[in-house]
Amino acid sequence: MKRHIPNSITCCNLISGCIATGLAFGNSIEMALLFIIIGAVFDFFDGMVARLLNVSSPIGKELDSLADVITFGLAPSTIIFSMLHVMSYPVFLEPLRDYLPYVAFIMAAFSALRLAKFNLDERQALGFIGLPTPANALFWGSLIVGVGDKLENHSWVLYFIIAGILISSWLLVSEIPMFALKFKHWGFKGNEVKYIFLITCCPLVAIFGISAFAIIVAWYVILSAIVQQSSTQK
């Protein structure tokens, strides 16, 4: 019986992603983000429970990736899709309003590719190579929920969104090493980057609210790149 518990939690992640996608198609962006976050909680606990019960299995790993494609790939892409339908367009792009929003699903495809690579990449035991899909999903969800209504009336934002989709897609499958918040010990030495990241996140949340999570993900990518550059120069 216990071997089914982690997979049941993973299925709850998948169901959360399906609900988030349906809500995003209905333009209920805040609720869609909430269910992405709920899915992330299930995603965190399924692996932990599998290790605690010592019931990890290949099918659990594959099921986890399938759930993540929905919750952290399709759902945030649908949030962007819905925003692209209602925002202002430059006059010369107005005829493409019914078609351009589908560009958002490029990110879903790259999320699936990133998860497939993750399953095969043995380098990612203690860190990540490329942007994790939950971080990417949280970036877009919090950005659009936090400031989307302030940006919808500015036609120049369309260029930012399209560029952002392409940059996110590249980051998902890039070879940039990114640190994971996994601690072998709680001492500061050896965990400097992780503690600096966590300490700087607190005031951002206090100041910017829900939008802070988009800033935090951007800061995470920048800090990872700085660490990589520093290690390369040594």
Residues 121, 175: contact at Cβ < 8 Å? no
Please report, in angstroms and rounded to a whole number, the separation of the first and last CA atoms in the chain. 51
Q: Which of 4, 203, 164 is nearest to 76 (CA)?
A: 164
* Residue in the block written with tokens 């099918």: 59
Q: pLDDT at position 213, please?
A: 92
CB 5 within 8 A of CB 49: yes
Predicted pLDDT at 35: 97
Q: Indicate the burial class of 144 (C-beta count within 10 angstroms; 0-12, 13-18, 19 or more).
A: buried
Contacts of 72 (CB under 8 A, 6+ apart): 17, 36, 39, 40, 43, 111, 133, 134, 136, 137
Per-residue confidence (pLDDT) for residue 183, from 0 to 100: 67
Is the CB of residue 35 less than 8 Å from the CB of residue 18? no
Q: Mean pLDDT of residues grouped by 10 in the chain (234 residues)?
A: 82 96 95 96 86 78 92 97 93 93 97 90 75 95 90 88 96 90 73 88 90 93 85 64
